[in-house]
Structure 1
Amino acid sequence: MSEGVEVVRARALDGVAHGFLGRRGGVSTGILSGLNVGTGSSDDPAAIAENRRRATEAVVPGGQLATVFQIHSAEAVVATRAWPLDARPHADALVTDRPGVALGILTADCAPVLFADREAGVVGAAHAGWKGAIGGVTDSTIALMESLSAQRERIVAAIGPCIARASYEVDEAFLRRFAEMDPENERFFAAGRPDHYQFDLEAYVAHRLATAGVRRIEALGEDTYAQPDRFFSYRRSTHRSEPDYGRQISVIGII
């Protein structure tokens, strides 16, 4: 921990500098209280900058935090350094083989996925909301890691805190998008109230990773919606009619 920052780690990534962070240990106040790192929020920029510094130090001490302008896509980029905030590439995944570069993915219910090939010294991070997940953001991340000499049979992946099935109600049209892609995808939906379903984003992302050839996958099973003291949640904020919401960060790097 660094200055009270809560860092959730995955056993699958033991020995790799990584962490899934929530809202504990930051300096933001009000409805964004805690470790809000979202530059798209109405938070004080100085607080966001301090929270980002704390997050980086908690996982990759002395590292440069590289983030992207996330657009719910399948785009992945190689990070050789940290980009200025106003020059970040539009993408939803990053990979690197450079020591000291801390890859950061922001979420507020979407699934953060961290990857590593220890032998090759290559790591990756992906933002997998439903659009990115069905679009193949995890596949893009794996392919780009391979371009840096990773091998997919050696890659391990961990899925961090995200909205859980019990908290993720969707409608019939949402289910149809997934079923039309593959009828087997219906298994990720449980019956809910009439004409509605409960979607298991975490299980779907794990399925995409396994289908891509990742042999070791760890899902942390942490529901962002149901833990307001630990995690930010876009859907929870919407249900509470709050004017804004915070974003948490997941970080991985090579030390």
Structure 2
Amino acid sequence: MFSGFDLGKPAQITFTSDYHELVTGDLKPEVNCHISYDPLRIVPKDGSYVHGDPSKPIFIHVQFKENGSTQSKELYSPNGIISDPHIDVTGRGSMLFQEVFIPSDAEELIIWFSYLNPNTNETLYDSDYDHHFHFRWPYHDAWVRKVDVVDDSLSDRFELEVGTIPSITQVSVNWRVLNSTELLKEVTPLKNVSQTDDGTKIWKLSTVVPKRAILRFKLYYEVNGRQYKNDNASQYFLAPQPQQINVPPPPQAPVQL
């Protein structure tokens, strides 16, 4: 079974200024999720907002199931007010933060943000066009059991096996060949072929790819009519899997007699 890149590591969701939402770490119930947010996503472009100004707060709003109760918290700047913030679209610049504890009975993590524009008294929202941002537990919902690119005469075959929790109704793989210009990107559904005694659904794909293909892929899966993804903490998966490099230990100092 493939071990996820960030399995067991602290959960974080980064909301970047170019409107990407990057999940890293092991997002799941009964953990604290660290929220990192670029205020340039929501504040007016007129320069009236100063990074981290507590008199002009940005709020995060959280639910743990559709139409559930809402928790709201003010985002904060750990370095206080910054008049000349570092701007970085990857989320490594000046950011605002908050912690969200995900309870054991959470069905999903639903997030949106709000900001009261003091110039117009209008509340601005960052809410994925009123749909809100929905996250689930990628490593625990859908995981790679087996993956390989196998020799098949004139071509090769991309062989993928995925396990999921019982409530997942669809699985597809978004993949591309890295070492060929023939195929840019494909999204291919997997077939549910069986279910194990513990309830794990088994999904499989076998499809033709160019000879000696190296593939990068991520998983999409559907729960209750909504699509989520497992992109291996934004690192994606590779097929065939790269061989593990065993680094020799450093030489020991000679023993003084």
Task: Using structure 2 for the length normalisation, give the TM-score.
Answer: 0.28
- Larger helix proportion of the pair: 1
Task: Using structure 1 for the length normalisation, give the TM-score.
Answer: 0.28
- Larger strand proportion of the pair: 2
Structure of higher RCO (CA pairs closer than 8 Å, 6+ residues apart)? 1
